[in-house]
Every structure is written in C-alpha cells, then in structure tokens.
Amino acid sequence: MTLRFSVLASGSTGNAFYIESDEERFLVDAGLSGKQMDNLFSKIHVDPSTLSGILVTHEHSDHIKGLGIIARKYNLPIYANERTWKAMENSIGKLTLDQKFVFGMEEVKSFGDMEIESFGVSHDAAEPMFYTFRHSGKKVALVTDLGYVSERIKKTVEDADAYIFEANHDVEMLRMGRYPWSVKRRILGDSGHVSNEDSGLALSEIISNRTKRIYLAHLSLDNNMKDLARLSVDGVLKERGIGIDLFDTDPKEPTALYEVI
C-alpha cells in the first residue's frame, strides 16, 4: 500500500486531515469536537485508537478544538513545535508527559515507513507550520492557513503527487462582504489567508507531471463557494496551459480515502 488520505473537515469551523501508510496512521489537527471527530473517522471506517499520533499545525481553535479530547480518549501522542505547545497549553486540557512531543520547524522526522517534513507558513499564530508526507517515492503536501506562498514554501512542497491547498476566499466577495474592515485587512494581509487566484498562481509554479490531484481547502463560508473556488483556480491553471483534476473539501463531510498512485 502507498499513502492514503482523507480531508476529514476543512474550513473556518474546523479542520482535520488523516493520512496513512502501511505502518503509520496520523491525524493532523483536530479542530472539531471529540464527538464530531469520532463521527468523521467512522465515515471513512478508521478506528481512531489505531492512530500513531496527532500532528498540530497551529493553536487556532479551528485546528485544536477536539485535540485534547481525542488525545486523552485514545492515549495518543501529540507533536507540535515549542511555541505552539506554549500557545495551546491552556486550551487543550491536561495531558500526560508521554503524550507531549516536540516537532520542530523545518524538521524531518521518520515514523516507521513514513517521512514527515514540517515547514513554516505566514499566518497570525505563534509559530504555524504545515507538513509534507513521503512514503515509497510518493509525496503529499498539506498547505493551508498562509497569507502568501513564499519561494521557500514552493521549494518544499513542489513536485508532490497530491496537494491539499488553501483557496480561502474570492477577493471581491470578501471586499463587498459583511466583515469589518479590520478583519478583511487581516485576511488579505501576509498573515491571513490565500485567495482563489493566488492559490492558482502558486499551484501553477509547484505542480509537476506527477501531480494527480489537488484538493481545494479551508474555503471561507462567507467569502467563497466551492464552484467559484474550483472555477477560479482552474481558470488560472488553464491560462498557463495546465489541466488537472480539482477536488472539493467540506467543513463537515470527509473526502473519500484516496490512495496515491
């Protein structure tokens, strides 16, 4: 078996990502309640008690809401960088020392047959970072919650077989929407979120002939729509002569388990 994954939930109401190999099973973030997390796992027929651990991207509540609950219920280790640990300690409840592990920024760790690399992103959290996953020559990149896509990020995530990539908002919907200007400015800024158009531009520079799928993730409920995100990203890619399958993610429903081939 190669890598298989599901985007369990994605959006401002909660985020969770699952990936497995022959030997390892990881959850990345647990941004929904414990009950909702269990329900999402049941829909993809995965027993959470079989997880190898939980990786954390950053301390915002839509990424850690159910983290402590899931970790305690299934006695799972949690991996996060030191500044994220410090920022989320008061939000996730009590954990035992053998559940707390540091996964440093720009670090590569091997877990059984899976290699995981962390990389920093520009988001208004303590020290946000995301991950790439490698197994048997296959690579999956998880990239959301970033204000812009730096050259360093592009270099780290380029040439993956599959991407889970942020397409947070349509700029005009955001500008015309109900959010206060201070919130709009934050979202549009370098520490906010990536728009549909900027997502397409970044993807056009990092995907390769081996890229099979792109899942558009972390869509804003107020400032985006699935069809609009797909059309916008697809339009940018086609302008550059790139045709590739784009897939939706959902705030409440997991994507089907996909095996990277």
Per-residue pLDDT reduced to its tens digit, 167-217: 999 999 999 989 999 999 889 988 889 999 999 999 999 999 999 999 999
CA separation, residue 56 to residues 27, 127, 128, 182, 252 (Å): 9, 11, 9, 27, 19
Mean pLDDT estimate for the chain: 96
Question: Which DSSP helix (H) or strand (E) runs through 129?
Answer: strand 129-135
Query: Is the confidence at residue 239, as pLDDT, over 90?
Result: yes
What is the model's pLDDT at position 134? 98
Question: Which pLDDT belongs to residue 173?
Answer: 93
Q: Which two tokens stand for residue 69?
A: 């609950």
Six-digit token string for 105: 């920024």
Phi-psi region of 156 (alpha: psi -120 to 50; beta: other; left: phi over 0): alpha
Is the model's pLDDT at 127 over the cut of 90? yes
- Short-list 221, 200, 192, 213, CA closest to 259: 213
250 touches 10 (CB < 8 A): yes
Segment 220-230 shows an average pLDDT of 96
For 213, the enclosing helix (H) or strand (E) is strand 213-217
pTM, to two decimals: 0.95
Q: How confident is the model at residue 261 (pLDDT cuts 50, 70, 90)?
A: confident
Task: Identify the H or E element spanning 115.
Answer: strand 114-120
* Residue 1 scores a pLDDT above 80: no
Q: List pLDDT tens digits, range 24-79.
A: 999 999 999 999 999 999 999 999 999 999 999 999 999 999 999 999 999 999 99
d(CA 196, CA 209): 22
Residue whose pair of structure tokens reads 């949690």 in the numeric block:
78
* β-bridge partners, 28: 17, 55
Looking up tokens 């990536």 gives 194
What per-residue confidence (pLDDT) applies to 38?
A: 98
The CATH architecture assigned to 3-255 reads: 4-Layer Sandwich (3.60)
Element (H, E) at 68: helix 67-74
